[in-house]
Amino acid sequence: MVYAVEHLRIRIGDQTLVDDVSFSIRTGECLAVVGESGSGKTLTSFAPFGLVAARVNGSARLGGTELVGMSEAALGPIRAAQVGFIFQQPLNALTPHLTVAAHLAEAAKTRLTHAAVQEMLAEVGLSDALLCRYPHQLSGGQRQRVMIAMSVAHDPKLLVADEPTTALDAALREEVMALIDTLRLKRGLAVLLVSHDLASVAAHADQIMVLKSGVVAELGDARAVLEHPSSDYTRALLGARLRSRPDDDPIIAASQYDQPLLTATDISVSFPKPGWRGGRTLVVNRVALSVGRGEAVAIVGGSGSGKSTLARAIARLGPCDAGEIMWKGTPLPARHKMRPAHRRFIQPVFQDPQASLDPLWRIIDIVAEPLRYLCPELTRAERRERALATLDSVELSADYAPRTPRQLSGGQAQRVAIARALVSDPELLLLDEATSALDVLTVTGIVNLLRQLRAARTLSVLMITHDRALADALCDRVLTMDAGQLKNASQLKNDS
C-alpha cells in the first residue's frame, strides 16, 4: 500500500470541513476524489502533507510513515522525495522568472545534463525548444505538461493531481489525462486525482470517492460507482449538465441588440518571438465583432486560439497592434490613455477568482475597492452600502462581508468576483473562462445568476470560453476562433 488515510478530520478555525474520510491507494492505482465546489476535495488531498493551514486529525500513512502530527521540518523532505504535486493553476504555481530548464532542475533536486532535460520534456510530449522559455511564453497545455514533468522529475511514489485539466479545452484535457495514465503505468505511480467532473474521470480512475460537504457520500470501484451509484448525490453529479436556452426564450428583447454598444474592427495583436532572432508572432489577425445593448456574445476556441488575447485587446486590458474599438459610436482611447470614465462601463471577471482576489482583504473591501477610482464622488459609507447591495444581488448575504477569500468555496469566490465587476454599474461584462474551474452544479448556479443579472440590468456580456455548452446556455451568439481568426461571426448560437 502506497498511501492510506483513516478517519481523517480537518478543521479550520471552529469549522470541521472534512470529517471521517478513509481511503487507500496501491502502486499503479488511481483514486479519483470527486465533488462540487467546497466539498473538501483539495483539503483532503493537501492537508495531510502540510500544504493547507489547518488542524488535521486521524491517520495518513505514506509508505508506512505517519504524516499526521509531523512537523513541517520533517514533512518537507518527505514531500520533496516521495510525492509529486500537480496544481490547478500552473501559471500561478510556476515561478515567473525561471525558465523551463530551471524549473525541471529545481524539481529534480540535482544538476541535469541537457540530454536528461530533453528526455524529461520528451516524456510529456514537449520539444526541447521550450527549455529557454518562461511560463508566460507557454500555452496553457504546455504549462500543464511542464508541471507534470516537474511533478515526476524526482521519481515520486505518489502523484497528487488537483484539477489538472480544468483550464483546458476538451482535446487538451484528454491529452493531459492520457499523459498522466501513461506515466502512472510506466512508473508504477499511485495517483490521487482531484476532479469536479465525475464523468471525465470514468476512463482514468480505478476507484472513485465522492465527497459532499466534507463527508464521503460514496466510495468504490470506478465502474460500479458510475454504472450503479448508491447515493442520490452521486446520481445528481452524473445527471448534471448545462442546457441550452431555447431561441424562443430571450433574456432581453432581441430588438435592443440592434443598438450597438461595442464594435471592434480589424483588431490585430502580435507578441515578440522568444530567442535572439527576434520577430513577432501574429496571435489575432484582423478580427471584427460587435456586441449590442443587452446582448451576450461568446467566443469559443481551443487553447492558444487567441480568444483571451482578443478580449483583453477589446477591453483595453492588453496590447493591441492595430484596429479600432468603438463604444456607443465613440472611439475608445489606447490602453495607456484609458480613464476611469472609460473603465467603469467595461468590467472583467477572470478565470481564477482566488488568484484575482486579495487574500488579506475582507470581502466587503474587495467589492467596494473599485468605487474609489471609478466612482470617486461616493463617500466611504455610500461605497459600503453599494457593495453590500451588490453582494445581495449575487445572492451572498451580509454575513460574507467580513470574511476573506480563503473562507469561501470556489463558487462563492466567483460570485464575489462578479460582484466586484458589477459594483460600478457597468454596461458590459467581460467573462474570461470565468467558470472553468467550477463543477457543473456550481456553474449552473452561476449561469442562472448571470441570466437574472442580464435581465435586471440590461447587461451585455462578452464571454471567452472553451465550453460550447456553457456558451449555448447563456449567450445569444457564439463565434468560433481558431488561429487568431473568427470563423463564423455571422452564425447564431443554434446554427450548425
Residue 242 is predicted with a pLDDT of 57
Q: Are strands 65-66 and 190-195 parallel, antiparallel or unpaired?
A: unpaired
The three grid cell numbers given for residue 70, joined into one nine-digit string: 509531523
In angstroms, rounded to a whole number, what is the distance separating the alpha carbons of residues 72 and 80?
12
Residue 491 is predicted with a pLDDT of 43
Q: Which amino acid is at 47?
A: A
170-187 vs 140-151: helix crossing angle, rounded to 10: 10
Report which of 297, 280, 275 is spatially closest to residue 288, judged by C-alpha positions.
297
Sorted by where each starts, the structural domains of the chain and their CATH numbers stand as: 3-239 (3.40.50.300), 254-486 (3.40.50.300)
Residue 7 is predicted with a pLDDT of 96
Residue 263 is predicted with a pLDDT of 93
In angstroms, rounded to a whole number, what is the distance separating the alpha carbons of residues 308 and 317?
10
SS (H, E, C) the chain: CCEEEEEEEEEECCEEEEEEEEEEECCCCEEEEECCCCCCHHHHHHHHHCCCCCEEEEEEEECCEECCCCCHHHHHHHHHHHEEEECCCHHHHCCCCCCHHHHHHHHHCCCCCHHHHHHHHHHCCCCHHHCCCCHHHCCHHHHHHHHHHHHCCCCCCEEEEECCCCCCCHHHHHHHHHHHHHHHHHHCCEEEEEECCCHHHCCCCCEEEEEECCEEEEEEEHHHHHHCCCCHHHHHHHHCCCCCCCCCCCCCCHHHHHCEEEEEEEEEEEEECCCCCCCEEEEEEEEEEEEECCCEEEEECCCCCCHHHHHHHHCCCCCCCEEEEEECCEECCCHHHCCHHHHCCEEEECCCHHHHCCCCCCHHHHHHHHHHHHCCCCCHHHHHHHHHHHHHHCCCCHHHCCCCHHHCCHHHHHHHHHHHHHCCCCCEEEEECCCCCCCHHHHHHHHHHHHHHHHHHCCEEEEEECCHHHHHHHCCEEEEEECCEECCCCCECCCC
List, for the chain, all residue ranges whose pLDDT scores fall below the cut of 70. 166-170, 240-258, 274-276, 437, 488-496
In angstroms, rounded to a whole number, what is the distance separating the alpha carbons of residues 371 and 368?
6
Cβ 120 vs Cβ 107: under 8 Å: no
Residue 492 is predicted with a pLDDT of 42
CA angle 272, 278, 279 (to 5 degrees): 60
CA–centroid distance for 412 within its chain: 14
Instruction: Provide the 10 A C-beta neighbour count for residue 63.
Output: 13
Provide the Cα torsion 37, 23, 222, 169; round to 10°: 40
Mean pLDDT, the chain, as a whole number?
Answer: 86
In angstroms, rounded to a whole number, what is the distance separating the alpha carbons of residues 455 and 473?
15
In angstroms, rounded to a whole number, what is the distance separating the alpha carbons of residues 215 and 39?
8
The three grid cell numbers given for residue 146, joined into one nine-digit string: 511542464
Residue 247 is predicted with a pLDDT of 53
Residues 6+ apart with CB under 8 A from 13: none
CA–centroid distance for 40 within its chain: 17
The three grid cell numbers given for residue 34, joined into one nine-digit string: 470527486
Chain segment 323-344, per-residue pLDDT in tens: 999 999 899 998 888 888 888 9
Residue 370 is predicted with a pLDDT of 94
